[in-house]
Every structure is written in C-alpha cells, then in structure tokens.
Amino acid sequence: MNSPGHFSGVGVGPGSRGYISVAALQALQACDLIYLPKARGVEASVAQTCLAGLGLDEAKYREVEFLMVADRSRLQDHYSELAATIAADLRQGLHVGYVTLGDAMTYSTYGYTLAALRDLLPDLRYRSYPGVTSYAAAAAALDWPLGEGRERVLILPCPDDMQALRRDIESHDIVVLMKVAQRLPSVLALLDEMAIAAHCALVSHIGLPGEMLYPTLADAEIDPAAGYLTTLLIRRNPRPRRHR
C-alpha cells in the first residue's frame, strides 16, 4: 500500500505572470497532478493563465469547475466531492497541487477545499503557500498605499446593502472592497453621493485581457458590467501629505 501523498495549496496571480513565490513554484514543479479551479461557464481557468510561461508540465493539469451559487447545501456537496477526488489521488501516494487565484487564505475557495480534505484525511501532509492578493496587486499598479501611519483599513466583501457599506466607509479611513460583481453600479453611485469618488480607485482583470486601471473614479466612464474580478480601493478622505 502506498504511503499518503502530499498536498500543496498555491496562490498565483492575480493576472500577472510571475506573481508566485519561488517556494510555491518549486512545490508545483514537484507535483504529480495540479488542480486548477475554473468558474462554471468560463472557457478557461484564470489560474492557468497565471501559470503560463513558468515551464510547468501542462499534462499534469486537471481543471475542476466551481459552482458560483449561494445555496450552501449545494456548495457543501461540491466541496465534499472535490475533496474526495483529491483524497483518492493522495491515497495513491501522489503529490497533488491545488492552484487558487490570489492569496490562498484570503477569501479563497482553497480554504473550503482544505477543510473538507482534512476531514477525510486527518493525517494529511500539506502546506499552504501565500500569494499576492488582488488588492495588493491593485495598490502596486496604481501607487495607492493601503494604509499609512495609524489609518484604519477594512477588507470587505461587497454587501448588498449600500447603507451598510456607507457606515463601513464612514467608520474607516480605507475600505478595500472585494467581490463587487453586479453591485458595481450601486457602489459607484454611493461614492458619488458621498463625494469621495475623486480619491477612490478601481482595478478590474488586473494583468489579464480587458484590464482596467482607474487611479481615480472622478469622471471615470466605467462599464457597469465590469464588476467581475474587480477590486475597489476606497479612501474616505484625501491622502494627507506626509513629507515637507
């Protein structure tokens, strides 16, 4: 009987090739199989795009479709089934990699997959490798500091209730808004209403085809359908000058 294999969870991207640590790349090079999540209905895995040009053996790739639904019962079944598939590979002694977009432990499906896998394999040998978050990539691309001095920063999945978002903005210096999706027009309207759009920024599909970089939202003409893979950097007040 083979000894259980090793599981490696790796954050890549977002978007730009090469946004991966040396340790994570070495882990993927050692893998026998590499699972690549792909949203249902999307032609190609964004995570695979982020691996292009790194010299990995694409014969090891295994795409896995992800449900984008709110039904928790269906999602629980989905992650259980995925974990069972990966566990079967690990029981054969294979080194299995799992690639996720952005950081492996920041609003990532990887966390759900790892939890389900550890339930099936309590003695699982694994390592999670951090990646670059979408908001870190956005801040770097726009020269937009994510907190200076004693500024209070909130990282938030976009709520449906715009008044709740208003309260979050009013109680923090900076709000990093993720998972915007179809709420983008409502968010932009709120920022205009609060008269703070001039010192807010937006990044969408960073490093990918269709990339949009807006260092300010004042007078910006943004496609209302651009919410997917979009991150907003919201500053309540203009950035203070900290040098003479």
Q: What is the pLDDT of residues 81-132, one digit of tens each?
A: 999 999 999 999 999 999 998 999 999 889 999 999 999 999 999 999 999 9
* pLDDT for position 190: 97
Task: List Cβ neighbours of 140 (8 Å cut-off, separation of 6 or more).
Answer: none
CA distance 145 to 233: 10
Q: With 60 as the cut, is the pLDDT of residue 34 above it?
A: yes
CA distance 130 to 24: 8
Q: With 60 as the cut, is the pLDDT of residue 1 above it?
A: no
Give the tokens for residue 227.
């919410």
In which residue are the tokens 């960073």 written? Answer: 206
CA distance 235 to 148: 12
Find the mean pLDDT for residues 74-82. 86
Mean pLDDT of the chain: 90
CA distance 127 to 108: 15
* pLDDT for position 156: 95
Which residue, 230, 224, 232, 171, is CA-closest to 199? 232
CA distance 19 to 206: 12
pTM over 0.85: yes
Domains of the chain, first to last: 6-129 (3.40.1010.10), 134-235 (3.30.950.10)
Task: List Cβ neighbours of 31 (8 Å cut-off, separation of 6 or more).
Answer: 8, 60, 95, 96, 97
CA distance 221 to 188: 11
Q: Are strands 96-101 and 201-204 parallel, antiparallel or unpaired?
A: unpaired
Q: With 70 as the cut, is the pLDDT of residue 69 above it?
A: no
CA distance 221 to 134: 22
How far lies 235's CA from each of 145, 153, 164, 174, in Å?
Answer: 10, 9, 16, 5
Contact indicator for 211, 19 with CB cutoff of 8 Å: no
